């Protein structure tokens, strides 16, 4: 289990303290290491539970081809076979399954998601395109929440509390989801207990 978090905003670099609080709130998900990749309009954070390539697999990880970075939580099934197929096309520097995701993205763009085997939640920031890709596995095994404090700012994280400690949003209870939880023991898919916090499908 790892934790991912990030901020996309026009003044992202100025929001580094908020990103640091978000990452710190996820420490229990990844106690082995943590890091933040800083771009002009994006901050990507990660807390890592080191399982594969313990020493060399720190995150967020930068692409070896373009100005693109990834923060990843999960497991890619059969990643060694995928890595072998791309070994002549992508300059791998780690033995991790997360770097395989970057290699696939560099080769196919977001289309690779249709065939990506595993359980995962991740964010890829393409700095050249100024584009963020957030994704989860088909069964939603790995959590990923988001919030938009304003029209130009997006926050995302593995847990709701990481969004709240940013100080950029105020929690607004969704009474309909509270009622759903009390009645059925869960909130509706793609909803959270807060009006202003969503779940990536």
Residue 164, class by beta-carbon neighbours within 10 Å (0-12 exposed, 13-18 middle, 19+ buried)? buried
Contacts of 115 (CB under 8 A, 6+ apart): none
Provide φ and ψ at 29, rounded to 5°.
-80, -25
Provide φ and ψ at 2, rounded to 5°.
-130, 175
Task: Let me know: does 158 contact 29? Beta carbons within 8 Å.
Answer: yes
DSSP string of 134-154? EEE-TT--S--EEEEEETTEE
From the list 2, 7, 123, 135, the catalytic residue is 2
Residue with tokens 């359980």: 119
Active site residue 2: yes
Active site (catalytic) residues: 2
């Amino acid at each position: 289990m790892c934790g991912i978090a990030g901020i996309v905003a026009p003044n992202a670099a100025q929001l580094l303290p908020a990103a640091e609080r978000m990452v710190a709130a996820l420490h229990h998900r990844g106690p082995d290491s943590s890091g933040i990749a800083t771009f002009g309009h994006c901050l990507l954070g990660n807390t890592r539970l080191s399982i594969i390539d313990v020493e060399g697999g720190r995150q967020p990880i930068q692409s070896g081809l373009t100005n693109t970075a990834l923060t990843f939580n999960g497991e890619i099934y059969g990643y060694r076979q995928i890595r072998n197929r791309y070994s002549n096309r992508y300059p791998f520097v780690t033995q991790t399954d997360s770097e395989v995701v970057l290699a696939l993205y560099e080769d196919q763009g977001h289309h690779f998601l249709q065939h990506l085997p595993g359980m995962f939640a991740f964010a890829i920031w393409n700095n050249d395109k100024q584009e963020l890709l957030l994704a989860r596995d088909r069964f939603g095994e790995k959590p990923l929440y988001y919030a938009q404090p304003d029209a130009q700012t997006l926050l995302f994280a593995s847990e709701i509390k990481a969004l709240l400690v940013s100080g950029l949003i105020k929690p607004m209870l969704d009474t309909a989801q509270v009622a759903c939880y009390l009645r059925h023991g869960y909130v509706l898919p793609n909803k959270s207990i807060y009006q202003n916090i969503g779940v990536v499908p």
